[in-house]
């Protein structure tokens, strides 16, 4: 099992409808038509999965609810930058989301925990087939699926894994690894993908190439490299876990999380990352990695406010965050 290093797997497919311009050129009226077509294609299909979705108009969400969707990695940051003419189909367990009128007409995304690239792709592929039965996708025999951004042309697929790499980060090896990965058609970024900085030692590793390579080959390549990174992280963890300074840092982190009355988001992520390292190295026995993973999501600013049902100031959020952490870890 690679769940100690790989927190989740995501496969995203970009698709566009044949007879409509890309979303950036769509009129408000045509955006509505695209929303209805995609919604009907899912809801009216014979597949049992079609009953599993809730339909959300982005214009009906509060700003906090929108940001919380990004924090939980259910939609892209770009998707919430404009709420008019955009909608979301979200499965009950939140493992499948279909963004309508993002950069492309359809951004279909499947997320599973741990390393499960093939299973995740299979679900995305079945949904793609379901949509294809009811919609005409823009497809070219030579270029493959047509997308607004040329970097998605071809398969239109982005597969990624969310990695927790505290040992490689502490060993200052991530920069060197990132340089090597680009030669292999992969890219490593912060947890929210393009333009995001890593925090809490969380990184997203994804395929860069979508043209001239099959989905299967792209997934195999990503899986092989992921397994190598998992092995490197475990070796670095074993080495670092013997250091008294690291052990001290882990103990102090847990102590702070259990007792602090005020906690900023960045500090909480850093401390939780240290505690997760301590759990996996065998130093901390009474907390599980699953609890830490869940807390990393719950303490995000907007998600924290949505769950509390209150509009909180920055300081009130820091007080509420510390309370959540104390209660979960004490």
Residue 188 sits in a domain of what CATH number?
3.30.590.10
Confidence of residue 193 (pLDDT cuts 50, 70, 90): low
With cut-offs at 50, 70 and 90, classify the pLDDT of residue 182: confident
Q: Domain count of the chain?
A: 2
Q: Residue 151: which pLDDT band, with cuts at 50, 70 and 90?
A: confident
Spatial separation of the C-alpha atoms in residues 190 and 2, rounded to whole Å: 20
Q: Are residues 41 and 172 in the same domain?
A: yes
Residue partners of 110: CB distance under 8 A and separation at least 6: 10, 11, 12, 95, 96, 120, 121, 123, 124, 127
Does residue 72 share a domain with residue 179?
yes
Q: Is the dihedral of CA 89, 187, 222, 171 positive or negative?
A: negative
Q: In this structure, are 144 and 281 located in the same domain?
A: no
**Are 163 and 68 found together in one domain?**
yes
CA-wise closest residue to 291 among 268, 314, 272: 272
Q: Is a pLDDT exceeding 90 seen at residue 178?
A: no
In the predicted model, what is the mean pLDDT of residues 200-211?
89
Query: Which residue matches tokens 């490593």?
Result: 188
Instruction: List pLDDT tens digits, range 264-288.
Output: 999 999 999 999 999 999 999 999 9
151 vs 96 pLDDT, higher one: 96
Question: Distance between CA atoms of 81 and 1, rounded to whole angstroms?
Answer: 37
Give domain status of residue 1, yes or no.
no
Q: Which residues contact 222 (CB under 8 A, 6 or more apart)?
A: 117, 159, 160, 161, 186, 205, 206, 207
CA–CA separation, 259 and 244 (whole Å)? 22
Q: What is the pLDDT of residue 258?
A: 97
pLDDT, tens digit, for every residue of 79-129? 999 999 999 999 999 999 999 999 999 999 999 999 999 999 999 999 999
Last residue within a domain, chosen from 204, 235, 266: 235
pLDDT at 6 exceeding the cut of 80: yes
pLDDT at 211: 79
Span 231-256, average pLDDT: 96
Please report which helix (H) or strand (E) contains residue 99, including its range: strand 96-100
21 within a domain of the structure (yes/no): yes
Same structural domain for residues 78 and 172?
yes
Q: Which of 175, 206, 235 is the last residue of a domain?
A: 235
How many H-runs (helices) and E-runs (strands) does the chain carry? 11, 10
Q: Does residue 141 belong to any structural domain of this protein?
A: yes
Give the 3-state secondary structure of residue 323: helix
Residues 73 and 213 in one domain: yes
User: Is the backbone of residue 275 left (phi > 0), alpha (psi -120 to 50) or beta?
Assistant: alpha
E strand or H helix at 133, and its extent?
A: helix 117-134
Q: In terms of pTM, does the model score above 0.85?
A: yes
Task: Give yes or no for residue 53 having a pLDDT over 80.
Answer: yes
253 and 218: one domain? Answer: no
Of 64-68, 134-138, 192-196, 223-227, the one with minimum mean pLDDT is 192-196
DSSP codes, 153-165: TBT-EEEEEEEE-
Distance, in Å, from the CA atom of 207 to the CA atom of 303, rounded to the nearest integer, reads 28
Report pLDDT for 3.
85
Pair (259, 204) in one structural domain: no
Q: Which residue range is the domain that position 303 belongs to?
A: 244-329
Q: Tell me, yes or no, whether 259 and 205 share the same domain.
A: no
CA distances from 303 to 94, 148, 267 (A): 14, 31, 17
**Mean pLDDT, the chain, as a whole number?**
93
- Residue 32, Cβ density class (10 Å: 0-12 exposed, 13-18 middle, ≥19 buried): middle
Are 195 and 149 members of one domain?
yes
- Based on the fold, state whether residues 266 and 289 are members of the same structural domain: yes
Listed residues 235, 253, 276: the one ending a domain:
235
252 and 214 together in one domain: no
């Amino acid at each position: 099992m690679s769940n100690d290093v790989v927190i989740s797997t995501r496969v995203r497919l970009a698709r566009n409808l044949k007879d409509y311009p890309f979303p950036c050129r769509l009129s408000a009226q045509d955006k509505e038509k695209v929303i209805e077509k995609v919604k009907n294609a899912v809801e009216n299909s014979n597949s049992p999965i079609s009953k599993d979705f809730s339909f959300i108009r982005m214009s009906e969400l509060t700003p906090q609810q929108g940001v919380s969707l990004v924090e939980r990695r259910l939609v892209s940051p770009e998707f919430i930058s404009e709420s008019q003419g955009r909608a979301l189909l979200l499965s009950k367990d939140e493992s499948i989301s279909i963004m309508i009128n993002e950069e492309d007409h359809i951004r279909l995304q499947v997320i599973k925990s741990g390393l499960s690239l093939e299973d995740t792709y299979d679900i995305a592929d079945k949904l793609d087939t379901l949509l294809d039965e009811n919609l005409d996708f823009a497809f070219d025999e030579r270029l493959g699926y047509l997308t607004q951004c040329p970097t998605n042309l071809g398969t239109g697929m982005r597969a990624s894994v969310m990695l927790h790499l505290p040992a490689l980060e502490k060993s200052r090896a991530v920069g060197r690894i990132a340089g090597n990965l680009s030669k292999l058609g992969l890219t490593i970024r912060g947890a929210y993908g393009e333009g995001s900085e890593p925090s809490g030692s969380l990184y997203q590793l994804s395929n860069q190439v979508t043209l001239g390579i099959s989905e299967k080959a792209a997934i195999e390549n990503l899986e092989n490299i992921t397994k190598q990174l998992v092995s490197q992280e475990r070796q670095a963890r074993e080495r670092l876990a013997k250091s008294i300074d690291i052990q001290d840092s882990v103990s102090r982190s847990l102590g702070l999380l259990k007792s602090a009355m005020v906690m900023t988001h960045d500090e909480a992520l850093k401390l939780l990352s240290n505690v997760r390292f301590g759990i996996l190295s065998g130093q901390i026995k009474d907390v599980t990695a699953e609890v830490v993973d869940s807390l990393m999501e719950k303490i995000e600013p907007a998600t924290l406010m949505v769950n509390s049902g209150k509009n909180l100031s920055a300081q009130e959020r820091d007080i509420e965050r510390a309370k959540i952490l104390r209660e979960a870890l004490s």
